[in-house]
Structure 1
Amino acid sequence: MILNLIKILHDNYVWLLTNNKGLSVIIDPGDASPIIKYINKKNYHPVSILITHYHKDHIEGTLALLKKYPKIKIYGPPKKNNINKNINFVYDNEIIHVSKYKFLIIYTPGHTKHDVSYYFPPYLFCGDILFSGGCGKIISGDSTLMFNSLKKISFFPDDTFVCCGHEYTLPNLKFARYILPKDNAILKYYIKIKKMIKKNKSSLPSLLKTEKKINIFLRTNEFLLQKRIGLKEIKENEGECFSILRKMKDNFNWS
């Protein structure tokens, strides 16, 4: 399978997973026009759409794609939405068959109450839950849901490619450097990503192995990190550490 990446809107990514016959799975189509243009250029044949959650920047192109490709099948988490009648709902630990390929559904709420991720080894399509160097904002989910979802993802194989929905890596690493200014792994990765972005290259997908080293939201069990954000007891509750970090990032001064 070939992994394709299409940049849309301001900083969103749409992912296409395509086999050697050109049959393609589209993940989170926030804008139909660039997707159709890309598909036509590559002579691909879309067979399904996978939706991680129902925010506009992840689904806006769905109905236009359905109109263009009326046989396409759409999958997403169970929630009322404006494309509801066309959705095949998916559930935690379910395996869906797209063409001859199997996708494992993982319930990963936190950004919203209904987020799901799709695992097709070695690729994890996780929407706005885990970003490279960070995690999603808590919109209609809550801190405990998000923390538990990130923990769940952290147990996936180290060679898993994290295919998330936005190019947020550089600002995420800027915040991480503020929290852990002496962390050499974060500093080196920040320099690397800064050079890539300057050359207009994508930082994604990233390896889960790398994320475990540079993503502070996956390191909430570390005493030094807990101490830096004001927790005093060794190995204090990881969930509390995550909650404080997330609030700090929400209020971070980016200037």
Structure 2
Amino acid sequence: MQPIALPALSDNYIWRLADDDGHWLVVDPGEAAPVLAAAGGATAPEAILLTHHHADHVGGVGALLERWPAVPVYGPADPRLPLGAQHVGDGARVEAGPWRFQVLAVPGHTVSHIAFHGHGLLFCGDTLFSLGCGRLFEGTSRDMLGSLDRLAALPAATLVCCGHEYTLANAAFARVVDPDNAALRRRHAQATTMRDQGHPTLPSTLGEELECNPFLRIDAPAVRAAVAARLPAARGDRVEAFAELRRWKDGFRA
């Protein structure tokens, strides 16, 4: 039951999950064509799951519903979602064919962002990326740090299925922040090989991210020291340290 990353737009991934009995679902369809091509002559998906309202994650919903009008669509309680989406909030359980997912509120990238967790999978949209995290378009640094802390508490074997192929760009930044991290060097080399061969770098595991991702390692001495060298006031304040790390990444050019 390995999720499949369908490339879309410039660097998005739409996630398709299927079992051997013909059941399937789709997460964050930013456009319809990749989903329709992967589906072929398959029956309708069990559900469409949406993590947040941005067009590159919901833009294909209308065309998919034209093909399969009875498919349920689940997403956060946000009026900016496509019409007809069923709103689900923190702690809700979404049932879709053979799958059961718990909804986690993970604000930061947007104020209403959610993730879906179940069956060893985490569909986290633009909250957590491999070796990075989402920009703070609507939420605060405190919001995002709390969301990442929540995701970091999930089992280490959880597969992280995020919304963009950003791993190499994130690795370039992470290695400036945490240059002596051997696990990060290995992950960077692995991701480079995967991209050179035309493969997605995702899903990663949460355990890998805990070893390598500076945004999940804000309490690691090496990361905190790197941030404090830029902003001494961040040394003793993890929220301010996280905020400065995010600002640093926002302005980073490899």
Task: Tell me the residue number matched to 2:54.
Answer: 55
What does 1:76-225 correspond to in 2, within 5 Å?
76-81=75-80, 83-84=82-83, 86-225=84-223
SS of the counterpart of 1:64?
helix
The alignment partner of 1:47 has SS state of coil
User: RMSD value over aligned CA atoms?
Assistant: 1.6
CA distance in 2, matches of 1:233, 1:209: 30
The normalised TM-score by structure 2 is 0.95
Partner residue, 2:247: 247
Distance in 2, Cα, partners of 1:100 & 1:229: 45
Q: 2:11 is matched with which residue?
A: 11
1:24-68 deviations in Å (ceiling 9; x for gaps): 111000000121011016x35312100000100000000110110
Contact 2:225 2:235 in 1 (8 A): no
Contact 1:22 1:45 in 2 (8 A): no
Look up the equivalent residue of 2:38 and give its one-letter code: Y
Which amino acid is the alignment partner of residue 57 of structure 2?
A: H
Query: Percent of aligned positions with the same letter in both sequences?
Result: 35
**Gaps in structure 1 of 5+ consecutive residues:** none
> How many residue pairs get matched?
252
> For the residues of structure 1 that align with 2:124 and 2:46, how far apart are their CA atoms?
20
Alignment-mate amino acid for residue 23 of structure 1: H
State the AA in 1 paired with 2:148.
L
Counterpart amino acid of residue 177 in structure 1 = R
1:223-250, Cα deviation, whole Å (9 max, x unpaired): 2211112255897222111111000000
Letter in 1 for 2:33: S
Partner of 1:68: 67
Match of 1:46, SS state, is: coil
Q: Secondary structure at the match of 1:182?
A: coil
Q: Is the 8 A contact 1:117 1:125 kept in 2?
A: yes
**Cα distance in 2, alignment partners of residues 44 and 18 from structure 1:** 12
CA-CA distance at 1:151 after TM superposition: 0.3
- Report the residue type matching 2:160 in the other structure: V
In the aligned structure 2, how far is the partner of 1:217 from the partner of 1:194? 21
State the secondary structure of the residue aligned to 1:157.
Answer: coil
Corresponding residue for residue 45 of structure 1: 44
TM-score by length of 1: 0.94
Q: Residue 229 of structure 1: SS of its match in structure 2?
A: helix
Which ranges of structure 2 fall in alignment gaps of 5 or more residues? none
CA-to-aligned-CA distance 1:121-154 (integer Å, 9 cap, x gap):
2000000000000001111112111110000000
